Amino acid sequence: MNLNFGSKNIKMIKSYTFQTRWADMDPNGHLRHTAYNDYAAQVRINFLDEFDLPIHKLLQMGIGPILFREDTRFFKEIRLNESITINCRLMAVKKDGVRWHFFHEFFKKDDELAATILVEGAWLDLAKRKLGTLPKEMVESMMEKMPRTEDFHWL
């Protein structure tokens, strides 16, 4: 699926599929709330890697992602050994690329929406412990190549 943003066609990011584990369950027999955040974090790392922002390269440059907020909405139970598919799209970004919002959707089989997570964050200069910037070519990759939500906006 291609999405058109201005003059460029942006290919929809593939989704990532996982099988839920015993360690991810809560006493009620469904995915514990913090496991959703763990899966979303792994998907973001995969997502960044696909768009030329691999975490190992960022860390070598002294830059890492920092989160300010994670807003999780639950719609359907996810149980042990279920296959879940999670995607990630850019929802908002500052033009300098420093701050960003990513949106995740969790699907059960048959494309049944189970949860969403909105993540608001930024890049942290690991030495200065203050917000940092990415090199221009990395910011361009983030802004030009990443798939966006339908309600994408600039911060």
Question: What pLDDT digit, counting tens, does each position of 44-81 carry?
Answer: 999 999 988 999 999 999 999 999 999 999 999 999 99
Residue 11 has pLDDT above 80, yes or no: no
The residues pairing with 154 across neighbouring beta strands, listed in sequence order, are 93
Closest alpha carbon to 86 in 119, 114, 51, 49: 114
Is the pLDDT assigned to residue 111 strictly greater than 60?
Answer: yes
Structure token digits, residue 20:
């839920």
Q: Determine what percent of the chain is predicted with pLDDT higher than 90.
A: 83
Is 90 in a helix, a strand, or coil?
strand
Other residues' Cβ atoms within 10 Å of the Cβ of residue 93? 21
What is the DSSP secondary structure assignment for residue 25, as one 8-state letter? B
Average pLDDT across the chain, whole number? 91
Domains and CATH numbers, the chain: 2-154 (3.10.129.10)
